[in-house]
Amino acid sequence: TCDLPGARSIFDIIRAKHVELAAERKVPPAGPARAALVRRRAGIRTAGEANVTARELGEETVEGVRVTHLAFLAPSGLALPAKLMTPPDVRDEAVISISRHGMTNALANVRGDLAAGRAVLVADLTGLGSIGRGRCDFDGTMSVRPEEGTAAMLYLIGETMVGRRATDLLVLGDWLVSRGFRTITIVASDDAVIPAAAAK
């Protein structure tokens, strides 16, 4: 037991190994080299490598804002639902607004950007929003962290959640560029923050 002299718990062993590996780890300074390392380790692909196509599913006008419904389709058949909100006096600036709740209540959260003439693209990234709940419950965490099942499935096929979500963001940004937007800002919260930082 842990009461014996010199006994170590599994947590003590993991902590000691972590300290040992951290001392050996060489992290490049902030800049292109570190960004390239993050992309490689997380498995982040460019929009071209992802080979995703966008399909417009229709439009509607809500409070004077044109809302274009979209689906970003991967070769595997998976689709990311998204909405592009375009104000009447739109400029060449766009915001990608992402949170763990996906597109829920999106219009209420982006009124300031729309009022300033910026288009706003909201989407349900992999494991977030309407596509966030998997069918498998891993370790009883489904009700607390519903994306846990998606993360486990990605791990089993050699991918990471950060890599997949960052790739999603790069695809969205590339599409906005193709639509003529010159300045694109990602506004992320909750579980979308780390993928957003990695997608720079």
114-170, pLDDT tens digit by residue?
999 999 999 988 887 666 555 555 555 445 556 777 788 888 888 899 999 999 999
When pLDDT is averaged across residues 59-80 and rounded to a whole number, the result is 91
Residues in CB range of 25: below 8 A, 6 or more apart: none
Asked if pLDDT for residue 43 goes beyond 70, the answer is: yes
Cα angle, residue 46 at apex, residues 44 and 48 outer, rounded to 5°: 145
Give the closest residue to 170 by CA, choosing from 132, 178, 77, 158: 178
Q: Looking at residue 107, what is its pLDDT?
A: 65
Asked if 126 and 80 count as a contact pair (C-beta separation under 8 A), the reply is yes
Task: Write out the E strands in 117-169.
Answer: 119-123
pLDDT attached to residue 132: 57
Amino acid (1-letter code) at residue 72? F
**pLDDT computed for residue 114 by the predictor:** 92
Q: Which amino acid is at 38?
A: V
pTM higher than 0.75, yes or no? yes
